[in-house]
Every structure is written in C-alpha cells, then in structure tokens.
Amino acid sequence: MTKSEKIEYRPVSVREALTEMKDLSEIMIDLAYSAALFNSRELAEEVLELEKRVDSLAYILDMNAMLAARDAEDAESLIGVTTVAAATDKISDAAADIATIVLKEVGIHPIVREAFEKVEEQLARAEVKPDSVFINKRVGDLELAAKIGVDIIAIRRGKEWIINPSEDETIVEGDVLIARGAPLGVDELKGLAEGKIKEME
C-alpha cells in the first residue's frame, strides 16, 4: 500500500478514462458493501487494488484534460469533465474507506451488516484454478446468466482489469472473476472456478 507505483503512461483518452472511472467506482462500492457484509478480506483487497487503478486514471485524465484545453472556453467545458472525474474518484475513496475497516479486523458491527443485508444480489470473487472447467472457455459460451443466474462483471488478470468483459473474452488460469448474482448461483460459480464442481447443473 505504501510503496509508490509508477504510473504507466498509456494512451487513454479522456473519454475512455472517465467511462472506466465511472464503471470502476460503481463496482468498488458494491464490492466494498459485500466485503463488509461477509467480512471478506479478499473482497476488501480487490477494492484497494481497484482504487490504485482509479487513482492512475484520475491522474491521466487530469493531465490529458490540461493538454486539451487551448482557450478559456475549452477549459471551462473541460472543468465539467474533471469535476465529474473527481466525483467518481471520491466514490472510489469512500469504497476504499469501507474496505480498510474490513481489513482492520476490529470486526464488522452488526449494524453495518444489517444495513447492507437488504442487497438481493451480492458480489463475489472467484479465482480460476488449474483444473477449472472455465479454462480456455469464452465468457459467452459459459451462459452463466441463463444457467446459474450470475454475471461476470469484471476479470482481474494480474494487474490488468477487464471491466464488463465481452462474450469473446477467454478465461485463463489465475483469472480473478468478480461476479454478481443470487447467493446460490454465486456459490456455484466459485465451485466451478476453483475446480470443485466439474459441471453446471
């Protein structure tokens, strides 16, 4: 957490950066609430990983917005963009605050759990192990939504995040799947990813 990470310069446009920041911040809130609900260190750690990504996107976005402003009118209109980006950054900070509480191991107060319990669909994290049936399958071919009522909303592959993966995305060993769905479906997804379940019912 304390070691400073070099921010990779990638040619990300202001538009792409903002869209990704918005999507990530929404996922982070849901993940943070699920982390608190289940007192899950794993989910909390994913939130903190995502926060690093949002922070670098915020940096890239501000830099590109400055480079793009050629006159006062440009600058005024771009301030709207950087303000919205700063708002998504604030949301991701809030999610990280919740994740940090989970990692502190003081235990989640029952009041917090009760406030978050009403969420019908929950987020879960599943790591794809060597003998999982998911390996080398395309996301679309798994038909997870139809078969077990679960959506893969993000895949973390090492340090890379694939948000809202397309149907063509191929799952590889070691992928961390972030999924949303009803509790039963989510449990089945975990079993399948970890190789404990070999077939979908």
State the residues that interact with a copy of itself by CB under 8 A.
Answer: 14-15, 18-19, 22, 26, 29, 32-33, 36, 76-81, 83-84, 86-88, 90-91, 93-95, 97-98, 101, 104, 106-109, 111-112, 114-116, 118
Residue closer to a copy of itself, measured from CB, 39 or 133: 39
Residue ranges of E strands in 62-182: 122-127, 150-157, 160-163, 176-181
Q: How far is the CB of 201 from a copy of itself (least distance, A)?
A: 29
Q: How far is the CB of 166 from a copy of itself (least distance, A)?
A: 13
Beta bridge partners of 88: none
Q: How far is the CB of 15 from a copy of itself (least distance, A)?
A: 5
Three-class secondary structure of residue 158 per DSSP = coil
Token code pair at residue 180: 């949303």
Residue closer to a copy of itself, measured from CB, 82 or 132: 82
Give CA–CA dist 38/171, Å, rounded: 26
Residue closer to a copy of itself, measured from CB, 6 or 111: 111
Residue closer to a copy of itself, measured from CB, 77 or 170: 77
Residue closer to a copy of itself, measured from CB, 78 or 177: 78
Q: How far is the CB of 73 from a copy of itself (least distance, A)?
A: 10
Beta bridge partners of 151: 180
Give CA–CA dist 57/63, Å, rounded: 10
Q: How far is the CB of 141 from a copy of itself (least distance, A)?
A: 23
Phi-psi region of 70 (alpha: psi -120 to 50; beta: other; left: phi over 0): alpha
Q: How far is the CB of 18 from a copy of itself (least distance, A)?
A: 4
Q: Which amino acid is at 88?
A: T
Judge whether 128 and 172 are in contact, CB under 8 Å: yes
Count CA within 13 A, CB hemisphere, residue 79.
Answer: 5
Tokens 């446009």, residue located = 13
Residue closer to a copy of itself, measured from CB, 117 or 173: 117
